[in-house]
């Protein structure tokens, strides 16, 4: 961590301007567009190898954690959490990829990760794009935004701890609510609107899919429902040992908590509901670039460049590092681009914690 980065963090913290009043920095936006035109092509081999390799490592480590004794089981469990978290993070890439950019990747994600982990791609597709809409970001219409920095201190631990229940909620959603909603139309509307999106905004209601999107949704939901029911039946009949199932649920819970911690520090969460410029959205978001190494684990698949991703949502994850290097070298020292880079998780958690303490 360099002293220059530390000074940037201090400056960003002490010279805060209301986010909706920050105008676009045209020089930064122009540089971002011009310097990365050759970086928008996704590399299918990278996507497939990374996603499938992470998934296979995760499942292998999960099985090992149910068979090995003591500390070895714990170590295998940690590997399973990190690998499966990385594999599941590809749902973010699926939501941004053009249909033919990586042929078959959506189906591959759902087969290897989405259905087995009960996080199918439709829970993010059609939702995440709203988070990137210029007129929606940071407003009540943004499914992925809460002004956490402006809320009471107790909201932060609740925000994290509630995510630990996600595996149980997902199992119930697909094993019980999916089949039941087929015969109860009113329940179906509720399931689609409220229980079919990876969203943190409690007032968000998603629209029902139509056309090809509906057909894809129905097909993947059917597989997810059958898998969830099969899991319950396997445990109930003793085919899947209760201990193994419990370990799997703990691993899935740890993945959800880790993702929620990353979500907590993905933005500064300082907007009070007003529409924001692109530059303001960038400054309300977070980059955690090298030389720090740990962000590669807790913010995988390009998520360590979350602010840059809001500038360039079309750049695939494997090119974000190069885009960051180019922009860092090209823009002026006083450019807003530098002000979204932070040292790591402890600083960011402390920063949002201090903000909420001021709201007591």
Per-residue pLDDT tens digits for 20-45: 678 899 999 999 999 999 999 999 99
Least confident of 2-6, 61-65, 233-237, 345-349: 2-6
Residue 112, CA distances (Å) to 54, 172, 198, 276 in order: 10, 21, 19, 37
Q: Quick one: which of 143, 147, 223 has its CA closest to 178?
A: 223
The 10 Å Cβ neighbour count of residue 168 is 12
Per-residue confidence (pLDDT) for residue 16, from 0 to 100:
56
Are the C-beta atoms of residues 88 and 255 closer than 8 Å to each other?
A: yes
- Of all residues in the chain, what percent carry a pLDDT higher than 70? 94
Q: What is the helix (H) or strand (E) element at residue 32, kind and residue range?
A: helix 26-35
Residue 152, CA distances (Å) to 126, 148, 338 in order: 30, 8, 29
Per-residue confidence (pLDDT) for residue 180, from 0 to 100:
97
Q: In the chain, helix, strand, coil percent, each to 5?
A: 65, 0, 35
> Quick one: average pLDDT of 39-55?
98
Phi-psi category of residue 145: left, alpha or beta, with phi > 0 → left and psi -120 to 50 → alpha: beta
The model's pTM is: 0.92
Contacts with 161 (C-beta within 8 Å, 6 or more apart), sequence order: 257
Residue 1 has pLDDT above 80, yes or no: no
Are the C-beta atoms of residues 1 and 265 closer than 8 Å to each other?
A: no
Residue 12 has pLDDT above 90, yes or no: no
What value does the mean pLDDT of the chain take? 92
The single residue listed with the structure tokens 């400054």 is 283
pLDDT digits (tens, 9 = 90+) for 125-184: 999 999 999 899 999 999 999 999 999 999 999 999 999 999 999 999 999 999 999 999
3-class SS string, 330-349: HCCCCCHHHHHECCCHHHHH
Per-residue confidence (pLDDT) for residue 122, from 0 to 100:
97
Q: Quick one: which of 159, 169, 224, 164 has its CA closest to 195?
A: 169
> Quick one: average pLDDT of 72-97?
98
């Amino acid at each position: 961590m360099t002293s220059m980065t530390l000074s940037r963090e201090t400056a960003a913290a002490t010279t805060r301007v209301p986010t909706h009043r920050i105008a676009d920095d045209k020089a930064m936006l122009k540089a971002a567009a011009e310097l990365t035109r050759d970086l928008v092509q996704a590399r299918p081999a990278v996507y497939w190898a990374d996603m499938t390799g992470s998934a296979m490592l995760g499942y292998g480590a999960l099985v090992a954690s149910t068979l090995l004794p003591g500390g070895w089981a714990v170590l295998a469990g940690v590997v399973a959490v990190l690998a499966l978290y990385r594999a599941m993070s590809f749902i973010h890439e699926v939501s941004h990829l053009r249909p033919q950019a990586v042929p078959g990747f959506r189906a591959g994600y759902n087969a290897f990760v989405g259905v087995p982990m009960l996080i199918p791609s439709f829970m993010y597709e059609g939702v995440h794009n709203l988070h990137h809409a210029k007129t929606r970001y940071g407003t009540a219409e943004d499914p992925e935004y809460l002004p956490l920095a402006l809320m009471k201190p107790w909201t932060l631990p609740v925000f994290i701890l509630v995510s630990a229940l996600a595996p149980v909620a997902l199992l119930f959603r697909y094993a019980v609510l999916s089949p039941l909603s087929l015969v109860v139309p009113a329940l179906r509307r509720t399931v689609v609107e409220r229980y079919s999106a990876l969203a943190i905004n409690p007032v968000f209601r998603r629209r029902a899919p139509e056309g090809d999107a509906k057909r894809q949704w129905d097909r993947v939901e059917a597989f997810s429902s059958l898998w969830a029911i099969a899991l319950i039946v396997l445990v109930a009949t003793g085919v899947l040992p209760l201990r193994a199932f419990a370990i799997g649920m703990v691993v899935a819970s740890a993945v959800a908590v880790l993702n929620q911690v990353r979500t907590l520090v993905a933005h500064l969460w300082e907007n009070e509901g007003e529409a924001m410029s692109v530059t303001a959205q960038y400054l309300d978001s977070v980059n955690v670039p090298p030389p720090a190494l740990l962000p590669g684990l807790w913010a995988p698949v390009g998520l360590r460049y979350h602010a840059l991703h809001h500038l360039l949502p079309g750049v695939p994850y494997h090119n974000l590092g190069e885009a960051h290097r180019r922009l860092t070298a090209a823009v002026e020292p006083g450019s807003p681009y530098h002000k979204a880079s932070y040292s790591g998780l402890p600083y960011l958690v402390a920063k949002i914690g201090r903000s909420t303490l001021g709201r007591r």
